[in-house]
Amino acid sequence: MWRILVLSACLVLTGCSEGAASSNRGLYMLIDTSGTYTQELDKAQQIISYALTRMESGDAFAVARIDTASFTEKNIVAKVTFDDRPSAANQQKRAFQEAVAAFVKDTRSSAHTDITGGVLQAVEFLREQPVGRRTVLIFSDMEEDLARGYVRDIPLSLDGVEVIAVNVTKLRSDNVDPRKYMSRLDEWKQRVEAGGGKFRVINDLDRLEAIFQ
């Protein structure tokens, strides 16, 4: 009888850790720093602040920049897994905010835009986190502009990952021919869904709560 009880207790306790992991969220935000898009960084900071208010203990959050070569840990501006204790999590949020503010202040625009590399890096980071929901936020115009020699036409593995493109600004050429804008987003949607992920676009920054739905 006592063996059954011990076994039940073990099962409950094992279940508890899994339950904890599945209720947490992993968020990786890619910020485009190429060309004139650096002018949009204030908006990125606004999104990060909003995300920080919504993150809870056990959640993981990272912010990385998209530049000429984004598939590297060096591009991660700040990353954190929020502590179990709410007070410590609050301190982490403040420190994170300060790190992001410093990045926004000092960042320089890059010559090229490697979004795919950033997504690959994001997926790699998120896979390592013991979280239930994995989300990649791409703060970019979604126009990839690779430097010579960089290979990025590789299939993405995004099973269980949601990719949300935020603040996808229209380029001058998009205004001339809107089909370019639409086809750009369609291409990304197909790439993400082909990799097993979900793709959404949120351009209205007044409804950021949609990120967490």
Compare residues 55 and 126 and give the one whose CB is closer to another protein: 55
- For position 105 contacting another protein by CB under 8 A, the verdict is no
> Which stretch in 84-92, 140-148, 164-172, 180-188 sits in contact with another protein by CB under 8 A?
84-92
- For position 94 contacting another protein by CB under 8 A, the verdict is yes
Burial of 153 (0-12, 13-18, 19+ CB in 10 A): exposed
Give, in order, the Cα–Cα distances in Å from 192 to each of 174, 176, 213: 22, 27, 19
> Which stretch in 27-35, 81-89, 167-175, 183-191 sits in contact with another protein by CB under 8 A?
81-89
The pair of three-digit structure tokens given for residue 19, joined into one six-digit string: 């339950």
Count of C-beta atoms within a 10 Å radius of residue 28: 27
In sequence order, what are the residues at sequence separation of 6 or more whose Cβ sits closer than 8 angstroms to the Cβ of residue 90?
A: none
- For position 109 contacting another protein by CB under 8 A, the verdict is no
Compare residues 23 and 72 and give the one whose CB is closer to another protein: 23
Among 4, 13, 151, 154, binds another protein (CB under 8 A): 13
Sign of the alpha-carbon dihedral angle for 203, 137, 77, 133: positive
Residues near another protein (CB under 8 A) are: 12-13, 15-17, 19-20, 23-24, 49-50, 52-53, 56-58, 84-87, 89-90, 93-94, 97
